[in-house]
Structure 1
């Protein structure tokens, strides 16, 4: 699959603050590619450089085989000539324009015939589920409806790429879930390339074909499919960023790795590598909890009923971990624990990391 966006050696600073340094990235034609990272890591700066609203200090950006920005040659194509559809966090729908007028705006700028504009806009209004609302002003719409208007306006001119910068962050939880699936459906329907910016791991996992994980210094730590990112993290930063993470410190004694300050060997394949010390990383869902062995013996330090799930905090030889269990499963299998109860745990999956990495991530 060919690349539609290529970012080569891009650097960007604001005064003494360097956001990106020698950043390289490729987005393939027709995929939904997500930039995922913590707030302030430079995701929006990168997407604004691709859009043309910011200019790199160094490096080159190409869209659809056309160089749109090259610091070395001075090449620069303005945003309106890059053939992009853009949706920002605040929707940016014009409050004085109706739904129809908002969506029609890009076509009017291209001086399309009036009949063509009318046909395309009404078709797009139907596609995004806004039929019958074409004469309403944004003030008469819900947040989700305004977001649909913004998406329709970005799609109506048939752009080569859609850039979506945190488009769901201002919506409530139910609307966020609904809209993320609608965006994916629109992407498939139009066969369009989508570049999506978010700090929400759940949204990224749901809509992405591939993802890039960025750290707080604006570096890309890993690029891969949602499965690869979640199940095969390249380092501890990626693992920790992708959801609730448990870590057990271990000490080596002979051929065993003992948990915390105790004498219980961790029941898993031993780590490979040359780290001076190790931590075992796993998700709450990677833990199986039992009333009796085999496994690591622990004590329930906190038991919370969360409706559909039971959430347990467990101490094992001075180390703590969290695990969740479906409430009905807990009831049916005599696993409704109370604080102070003994339990035994085993693992479905375990990742080994250099303990020094954990110190770096927590600093």
Structure 2
């Protein structure tokens, strides 16, 4: 069942059009992530759903209730939408204790003191902050302050949690710890989470479904993490979701030749009438060898990264990256040096029309 539905939303600031005719739905109980490059309008969309911004056109439904409809003159205030919101900068009040920060929404709602105390302590315990309720934010770490923000958003028992880049200001270890805690909270409480981020790793780790947005504010693909990563809708999505290799392939009569050389492709030809194609693949899809069947290449760069060997290989003018575990490289005699010849083959390939690469995100 849908709990959030966005229909035909448009939003602009002056001459800058952020969204135009955007439609999206989020199911009850799922963790849904808006993922895209900085400046694509992810936070704007979240703020429209929260009620902090008003769309120029379109409708927003929360639990089948219209909360925003400019044409119909409907704008329900943020405090009446039943949402919890956590921002990137925590937004905890420095002069208030943990208890007072978490309890503030209930205080504003005039919840009786005994009930307020019970609910606040339950929320504090839920995020692993028991025993710290009398501390000030200045006495907390960044991760603890983020937990305070989460507890404050949860204390009102919202039907939906909106999380806007909540882990950006944390170090790598804390980000990893917190992303699993957020997912565990979502499962435990069976609430809906709308998560905004530009971090592909976090999105893949916590999402039941995600939507990929491009720099024009359009949604390019919606699906579960496996679908997005393994079956991207286009070259934009493929490139955005991690390190992407592309090898140009041109049709010459009945043959398909790689790059600017004369090597025919050693795999099934693409389906379609285009003359110019691009084969897309991840570094993990490349198999490197010293001899055998495949494309002849030249090792342009060999980097020892501890547990991994990372190689940059040139094939008929095209360059690609691949990596393999160092112990495997040693065991199989694949510790290449710069300037050595190699043979590459592929575990998996995706075909894109060459023209589509013009709009691929540069990261």
TM-score between the two structures when normalised by the length of structure 1: 0.98
CA separation in 1, counterparts of 2:117 and 2:290? 67
Q: Report the counterpart of residue 29 of structure 1 in structure 2.
A: 28
Q: Report the counterpart of residue 223 of structure 1 in structure 2.
A: 222
Q: Report the counterpart of residue 6 of structure 1 in structure 2.
A: 5
Within 5 Å, give how 1:116-131 maps onto structure 2: 116-131=115-130
Per-residue deviation, 1:46: 0.4
Q: Which runs of 5+ in 1 are unaligned?
A: none
Are 1:268 and 1:350, in contact at CA under 8 Å, matched by a contact in 2?
A: no
The worse-fitting range, judged by mean Cα deviation, of 325-334 and 247-256 is 247-256
Are 1:59 and 1:71, in contact at CA under 8 Å, matched by a contact in 2?
A: yes
Q: Report the counterpart of residue 144 of structure 2 in structure 1.
A: 145
- The alignment partner of 2:327 has SS state of helix
Per-residue deviation, 1:41: 0.3
CA separation in 2, counterparts of 1:225 and 1:107? 36
Q: Report the counterpart of residue 213 of structure 2 in structure 1.
A: 214
Per-residue deviation, 1:254: 3.0
Q: Report the counterpart of residue 310 of structure 1 in structure 2.
A: 309
The worse-fitting range, judged by mean Cα deviation, of 187-196 and 270-279 is 270-279
- The alignment partner of 2:360 has SS state of helix
CA separation in 1, counterparts of 2:98 and 2:58? 39
Per-residue deviation, 1:125: 1.4
Within 5 Å, give how 1:275-354 maps onto structure 2: 275-354=274-353
The worse-fitting range, judged by mean Cα deviation, of 266-275 and 154-163 is 266-275
Runs of 4+ in structure 1 off by over 4 angstroms are none
Per-residue deviation, 1:120: 1.5
Is 1:235 aligned with 2:234? yes
Q: Which runs of 5+ in 2 are unaligned?
A: none
Q: Report the counterpart of residue 274 of structure 1 in structure 2.
A: 273
Per-residue deviation, 1:362: 6.2
Per-residue deviation, 1:274: 2.9
Within 5 Å, give how 1:349-360 maps onto structure 2: 349-360=348-359
Are 1:11 and 1:58, in contact at CA under 8 Å, matched by a contact in 2?
A: yes
Q: Report the counterpart of residue 106 of structure 1 in structure 2.
A: 105
Q: Report the counterpart of residue 70 of structure 1 in structure 2.
A: 69
Per-residue deviation, 1:359: 2.0
TM-score between the two structures when normalised by the length of structure 2: 0.98
CA separation in 2, counterparts of 1:109 and 1:296? 68
Per-residue deviation, 1:264: 1.4
Deviations 1:212-250 (A, max 9, x none): 000000000000000000011111100011010000011
CA separation in 1, counterparts of 2:315 and 2:256? 14
Deviations 1:276-323 (A, max 9, x none): 310100010111111111111111000001111111000111111000
CA separation in 1, counterparts of 2:117 and 2:326? 54
Provide the aligned length of Structure 1 versus Structure 2. 362
Q: Report the counterpart of residue 192 of structure 1 in structure 2.
A: 191
Deviations 1:75-99 (A, max 9, x none): 1100011110000010101111101
Are 2:240 and 2:361, in contact at CA under 8 Å, matched by a contact in 1?
A: no
Q: Report the counterpart of residue 43 of structure 2 in structure 1.
A: 44
Are 2:32 and 2:207, in contact at CA under 8 Å, matched by a contact in 1?
A: yes
CA separation in 1, counterparts of 2:275 and 2:135? 65
RMSD: 1.0
CA separation in 2, counterparts of 1:331 and 1:157? 57
Per-residue deviation, 1:119: 1.4
CA separation in 1, counterparts of 2:14 and 2:229? 36
